[in-house]
Structure formats: C-alpha cells, structure tokens
Amino acid sequence: MTIRHHLSDQLLMAYSAGDLSEAFSLVVSTHLSMCDDCRARSEAFDAVGGAVINQGFCAMSSGSLDACLSRIDGLAQSGPAPRRKADPVLPAPLVDYIGGGLSEVKWRPLGFGAKQAILHLNDSSASVRLLSIPGGAAMPEHSHRGVELTLVLQGAFRDETDRFGRGDVEVADDSLEHTPVAEEGESCICLAATEGKLRFNSLIPRLAQPFFRI
C-alpha cells in the first residue's frame, strides 16, 4: 500500500493537542494506524507537547492530577478491553470504535448500489459515516459547508483534484466543488467526517438530503 495523500501538520498538531472533534479524531486515528509517515510526525508533536508541559509552560488547574489519576484507576478496575477480531478492510481503531468488522456494519441504502452507515458520536459538532460506492459509480456533484476529511479504506476514487486509494485522505472545504467517481472493480469504501451538510448542485440529491442526513 502506497499512501500519497497525507494529513497536514495543522491537523496532526490539533489532534495531538486534543482540539479536534470526535468525528475528525476518529478519521485521524484510523489514518495514523495505516500511515507510518503521519504516525511518526504525530508522535513528534506528542513529544513536543509533553516537553512543553514538563517545562511548566502550560498551567494546569488545581485538581487536574487527581482527576487524571481517578480516570486511570477507573480504567484499571474495568479490566482490559476485549480484543476485537482483525478485519481486512477496517483498521483496528475503527473496529474498536464500532465494535466489529465490516460484516457487522449496519448499512443503509442511498440508491444505485451506494450505501452508508452513520456512526454514533457523543460530540455533535461534526458527523462521521462509512460510505460504500460501487465501482464505476459517481457521487453527485457537490461542494461543502466547512471541512470534510475522507479516508479511503478499500478501492479508490478520482475527482477533479487527483486519485485517492487505500490509506489516502482527501481534505475538502467550501472552495472545492467535485464529483468523486469510484474506480471500476471493487466498491470504494471510505470513512468521511464532515462539519456541515454538503451542497449538492442537482435538485434530486438536494430533495433526498434530509432523509440521508448527508
């Protein structure tokens, strides 16, 4: 697997600092499990953050240490998390998050063979879903309200910017208008986190949008 489209330093620093939403953190952590380059850069940012805290440049509120130790005690009392079976498509962070592999995903049809599974979040500031698009099929032309991270887990797609294969991440914002097309062959399965609803150019996708929560 050759990954060509990586996460930016800005995203990795925000992830290291704990500033990303739950949806975006899930996409980033899943990509890090697939990408040695981004994982190394993320660990470097973690080390820098740890050094800053160690030097006393970050003020911590009173009780922070006790709260942290209490959470650690709670994890110890609950015992180790059950080991999940490995999945050939979904990386370990995603398997752990949804509680199973691809065969256990509860897909809902979008039409023309496409399907999605919206993942449950505690944080409502962004949404995250699995998308499966049949080989050769296209998503309707659209732009974005806010940032969207799309991580390819199987197959590949192309749009007006480039080709994205397994492990690649496309970062889209309101400046990008595109029509992603899944490559012929196997279905393209992606993990996508979005800050806002998509802006579809055609009437039919706009009418269906409230039902599919895209």
Token pair, residue 152, equals 């390819």
pTM: 0.81
Measured CA to CA, the distance from residue 120 to residue 102 in angstroms comes to: 16
Three-state DSSP state, 210: helix
| Nearest in space to 18 (alpha carbons), one of 58, 56, 55 | 58
State how far the Cα of 56 lies from the Cα of 94, in Å rounded to an integer: 35
Instruction: Spell out the domains of the chain, with CATH numbers in brackets.
Output: 1-214 (2.60.120.10)
Q: What are 100-159's pLDDT values in tens digits?
A: 999 999 999 988 788 999 999 998 889 999 999 999 998 877 777 788 999 999 999 999
Side chain identity, residue 194: T
